[in-house]
Amino acid sequence: MEIRNLVVVVTGAASGIGEALVERFTAEGARAVVAVDRDADGVAAVADRVGGTAVACDVTDEEAVRSLINATVAAHGAIDLLVSNAGYVTAGGLEAPDDELRRMFDVHVMAHLYAARHAIPHMVAAGGGHLLNTSSAAGLLTQIGSLHYSVTKNAAVSLAEWISVTYGHLGIGVSVLCPQAVATNIGANSPTAGLLPADGSASAAAVDGVLTAAELAEAVIEGLADGRFHILPHPDVAEYVRRKADDVDRWLGGMRRFQQRLFPDGQTPADWLLG
């Protein structure tokens, strides 16, 4: 998929990965870029900077997502690429409140479902389209120290797989973006920011380096051009996924050893989170 002349919608676009994708899609010659976020002021600033359209929208509200998609098609005649990118991270395990998991599931899974449910009919009618859903390397593997993030990001990958299998013959392409650490404000904006070590010492995602959002956007352009389902800005993730598939018991043992290296004083994330 080439971006030139396409109508693109990006959620979670007020900062971080979403902001970088809006900028890059504009630079690639998209016909229209619709930047979406519940942060109305932030997304307006991003859209103004690139000459795009800003929409304030809570992606966990299905009616708002339906209206966003219908308004985009009405204004621009099509929706060619929908990037369902909104997300956040928390620290927590079995002790974390159930409502925190439900809230994260709404953002990381249901928002992708609503986007697909309402965009795909327009795309099929137009002869095709593409969905790019942001998950995480945690969605292919797991996230040490965050039960909710692991479960919901894995669910996001599974949903994307199902959509690809079910609608691929109708011209619907699907990609799932699965980075490790990216330099954004996701940690500072976390509802559990106070539980995250300030020095990043417990950040399993940073083991293979921290990309800038612009570097990630470059990987997205390359992945879309190649038509890849897994877009892996950190190439090492492909090897980790292969090892997991080859011998899951060995992989789990390796993850436990990795956790011990992250917490050399003998603590586990459960000890750290429970205090």
**Catalytic residue ranges:** 149
22 neighbors 31 (Cβ within 8 angstroms): no
- Which residues, in sequence order, are CB contacts of 216 under 8 Å at separation 6+? 17, 20, 177, 179, 182, 233
Backbone torsion region of residue 234, taken as left when φ is above 0, otherwise alpha when ψ lies between -120 and 50, otherwise beta = beta
Burial 135-145 (b: 16+ CB within 10 A, else e): bbbbbbbbbbb
